[in-house]
Structure 1
């Protein structure tokens, strides 16, 4: 679904605005249309009740009109700043994580801020970003605003990708190679391994396995500069460290061996919360 739209979770927060900027920059490279999605969650004491809630329960019609105007203005400003792009906005009803997961089935890419400002239902709180990244139907990019220690300008930094030989990591490798080639920046391929007695003897075999998975992408993008790093330690620590000078870190939805559980539970939260650059979570459709 290369030409499918880029869907951006948007609630007017700083993180959402940074995510929108990232999505627009990506769309400039790919030519994909961009759609802003504000998920309007109607809450009562008993929880979400959806549209048709009894009059007087917050948020009322005035609040909804304010949300619609917020999205309309943001989409109009984005379109004006990027005249070659098709930019639209839409307001949806329901729990944010569930709605964004459902909408991702029709998108080519879903871009989120790591958290929102509470606003109308707390769109893109940390737990929502983690949930959507874990269960979205298309690649999901989580963009953090003001990551501590982030380089002032990582525009020329590499695209870093974690691989372990599993099918999801190979899909992630293809996603990373395509974006690195499109941006004309290096591709950095990382594989975690566990030090121990005799572990060093297996390093050449590990490197050979990574090089084998890279072969088709080297043929597809012969001008792409590629480096391979075998890093001792945990996958999360490896990728967080790599994010310091990367423009994007890419991982598969789940892995085995070195990347086992990469996007489940606390490890995924570490990467989304502590990465110094945007994180792309890629899975097979």
Structure 2
């Protein structure tokens, strides 16, 4: 697998540094260049009334100096740990999410932290959610401590993005010599009057057959990848969260059945971006 450009959403948070490290490791293996992007949206106004709490706004010169210093340190660290990778840095005076989404058309991969600096500690960053939902290339949200020897885990459903999920998962597993686990989980059915295989906790034969046929096509393209498939009746978010504990990478799509196409991440994807314990890739059916 060869990537041309990896774009990293960078700020001075520990999560951004973890994202940078993941991106540099990936670039070293694939021959990609890395660009750190620091986007800062200047406040348009600040409350004047003393009774209204407002954040402290530093002088512009001090803010720019802090950003430049952070990027200089990031470049120096990258040169020391990954001297073989071409790394650049740039700043823009705009919102991070919109900038990354706009520049995703010229990138092969976007890497962001689970959240950056936020007024609410521990909250999943709005940048991660927005970029994962709308980028035109795969987006990696770096979370937790992945199992260095863990497999790539791909969660698919019946949406069009399943093809993008499998394309990324097989490609990554082949490039990194990792095993691949492909999971199709149907939520348990409750409250139905007539008993069905799903309500009884069993996968229908026809559903299992279409799942196996889909994966079989990708097996033929990547015969070197060791693949294990699981078709189960279990809530997808819960199962994939559990799988993330021993995975090296978790790959999912942008939306599932019932979501507003192109507008929102699916509920499973959003859950994993908050609770998975390994990096999560959100693949897009529109990815190049």
TM-score bracket relative to the smaller structure: 0.7 to 0.9
Q: Is the 8 A contact 1:261 1:267 kept in 2?
A: no
Q: CA deviation at 1:158?
A: 0.8
The separation in 1 between residues aligned to 2:25 and 2:252, in whole angstroms, is 21
Per the alignment, residue 186 of structure 2 pairs with 193
2:153 alignment partner, SS class = strand
The separation in 2 between residues aligned to 1:168 and 1:35, in whole angstroms, is 27
Q: CA deviation at 1:194?
A: 3.5
Q: CA deviation at 1:256?
A: 2.6
Equivalent residue runs for 1:110-259 within 5 Å: 110-118=110-118, 126-144=125-143, 147=144, 154-196=147-189, 197-199=195-197, 202-256=203-257
Q: CA deviation at 1:2?
A: 5.2
The separation in 2 between residues aligned to 1:257 and 1:234, in whole angstroms, is 15
Q: Is the 8 A contact 2:4 2:33 kept in 1?
A: yes
Q: Is the 8 A contact 2:133 2:262 kept in 1?
A: no
CA offsets 1:61-95 (integer angstroms, 9 cap, x no match):
23202211211220232023112110111111111
Q: 1:158 to 1:257 in 2, by over 3 A?
A: farther
Equivalent residue runs for 1:45-56 within 5 Å: 45=45
Per the alignment, residue 81 of structure 1 pairs with 81
1:6 has 2:6 as partner:
yes
Q: CA deviation at 1:204?
A: 3.0
After alignment, is 172-181 or 235-244 more displaced?
A: 235-244
2:271 alignment partner, SS class = helix
Q: 1:116 to 1:257 in 2, by over 3 A?
A: closer
Unaligned runs of 5+ in 1: 48-56
Q: Is the 8 A contact 1:76 1:87 kept in 2?
A: no
The separation in 2 between residues aligned to 1:172 and 1:254, in whole angstroms, is 11
1:230 alignment partner, SS class = strand
After alignment, is 228-237 or 127-136 more displaced?
A: 228-237
1:43 alignment partner, SS class = coil
The separation in 2 between residues aligned to 1:219 and 1:268, in whole angstroms, is 28
After alignment, is 83-92 or 227-236 more displaced?
A: 227-236
Number of positions where the alignment pairs a residue of Structure 1 with one of Structure 2 = 266
Q: Is the 8 A contact 1:114 1:126 kept in 2?
A: yes
1:44 alignment partner, SS class = coil
Q: Is the 8 A contact 1:254 1:262 kept in 2?
A: no
Unaligned runs of 5+ in 2: 48-56, 190-194
Per the alignment, residue 30 of structure 2 pairs with 30
Please give the root-mean-square deviation of Cα atoms over the aligned residues, in Å.
Answer: 2.8
Per the alignment, residue 192 of structure 2 pairs with none
Q: CA deviation at 1:250?
A: 0.6
Q: Is the 8 A contact 1:235 1:262 kept in 2?
A: no
CA offsets 1:143-178 (integer angstroms, 9 cap, x no match):
12xx4xx5xx61111111111232211111110011
The separation in 1 between residues aligned to 2:132 and 2:108, in whole angstroms, is 14
Equivalent residue runs for 1:102-113 within 5 Å: 102-113=102-113
The separation in 2 between residues aligned to 1:208 and 1:181, in whole angstroms, is 25
CA offsets 1:92-113 (integer angstroms, 9 cap, x no match):
1111211111121211100000
The separation in 2 between residues aligned to 1:185 and 1:207, in whole angstroms, is 25
TM-score normalized by the length of structure 2: 0.83
